[in-house]
Amino acid sequence: MSNQIKKILRMIRRIGIACAAVVFFLLLLGAMYQSGSMFMDSRKFPPPGEMVDIGGHSLHMITTGDGPYTIVLEAGSGGTSLDWSRVQPELSEFARVFSYDRAGMGWSEPGTEPRTSQQIATDLHALLSKSNVEPPYILVGHSFGGLNVRMFAAEYPDEVAGLVLIDSIHEDFFERMPEGTREGTAAQLKMLSMGHTFSFTGIPRIFFPPLATQGLPPETQAAVNALGFHPKTYKTIYEEATVFEDSANQVRHDTRFDQDLPLLVLSRSVSEQWPANANPEKIWSELQTDLTKISNNSKQIVVEDCGHYIHIEKPAIVVQAIKDFIEKIDH
């Protein structure tokens, strides 16, 4: 090998080492930025509710109001207890209201895996018991949360007085959705996986929006956005999404659900943004109607001029619908 070639190879190696050093330094700076930001966020946004140890990990919950029923609020994928900030105060005028963060979300610590609906229902029941939040429960689930409250109702039927599904996902949705939508969902899972992998470096915080529900009051939104940059948020959303089919099968094959349980289904009227060649909105609408068939005592309300987050976009309608629902149960 000539001296000239050796010199070129040495130069390439030095350039490679220098580039690696620069990348390492930038990642180190990013990690320091992420760590410092998380520390500042924890000081600026302490848990607004209580932390309760359910055995191995602690969950965050908020209870307000009083009444003969306890309304239990279960957020959708990526949601927290603060998702309900536009409805919980008003619901508290006629009932005890309980919202919480699932394990790994919001202020709650990561919990037992896999994060299926059955495990989530088990955690929720343990939290209610440990907190002395007594039944009868009116379970309210949004989106993915709908599967979780249905699982809870099947597991603990004697404690549930009614079920409210807010634009809840149906267990058959992913089986029936167009191929293009499947591809989009797979791409989202990859992004979540990458987000979790690199979240400690601060890259998602610098270049991407938070994994957080939007449309909340400003002071609440700031806290939710801060929580949306936490590494455990990426991890938990990814874990829940990867075992969705397991959750769907758990709900689909559970025969303990009370088919006479009072049920209210609130559905959107405005289409979500889907790929132009794979819009499953018609399927979603059909499955909303199918949700009413899980009970012989059901009612559906299609909320006009409203998208997926009905409790955020039209909180007054949700509050009134739940109030009327409870009054009907009493009579």
Q: How far apart are CA 2 and CA 193, in angstroms?
A: 47
78 and 38, same structural domain?
no
Verify cis geometry, omega within 30 degrees of 0, for the bond prior to 135.
no
Distances (CA, A) of 94 to 66, 67, 137, 154, 166: 7, 6, 14, 26, 20
Q: How far apart are CA 177 and CA 181, in angstroms?
A: 6
- Contact between 70 and 96 under an 8 Å Cβ cutoff? The reply is yes
Domain contains 97: yes
Query: How many domains is the chain partitioned into structurally?
Result: 2
324 and 288, same structural domain?
yes
Q: Which pLDDT score, from 0 to 100, does residue 213 have?
A: 87
Q: How far apart are CA 80 and CA 167, in angstroms?
A: 17
215 and 148, same structural domain?
yes
Question: What's 155's domain CATH number?
Answer: 3.40.50.1820
Give the strand pairing for 298-302 and 50-53. Answer: unpaired
Mean pLDDT along residues 64-74: 97
Domain contains 37: yes
Q: Which pLDDT score, from 0 to 100, does residue 181 have?
A: 66
34 and 114, same structural domain?
no
37 and 152, same structural domain?
no
100 and 30, same structural domain?
no
Domain contains 200: no
121 and 96, same structural domain?
yes
**Which structural domain, as residue segments, surrounds residue 18?**
1-44
pLDDT confidence tier of residue 182, bands split at 50, 70 and 90: low
22 and 143, same structural domain?
no
3-state secondary structure 223-286: HHHHHCCCHHHHHHHHHHHHCHHHHHHHHHHCCCCCCCCCEEEEECCCCCCCCCCCCCHHHHHH
131 and 33, same structural domain?
no
Query: Is the pLDDT reported for residue 276 higher than 60?
Result: no
User: Which carries the bigger pLDDT value, residue 69 or residue 15?
Assistant: 69
167 and 26, same structural domain?
no
pLDDT mean across residues, the chain? 89
68 and 12, same structural domain?
no
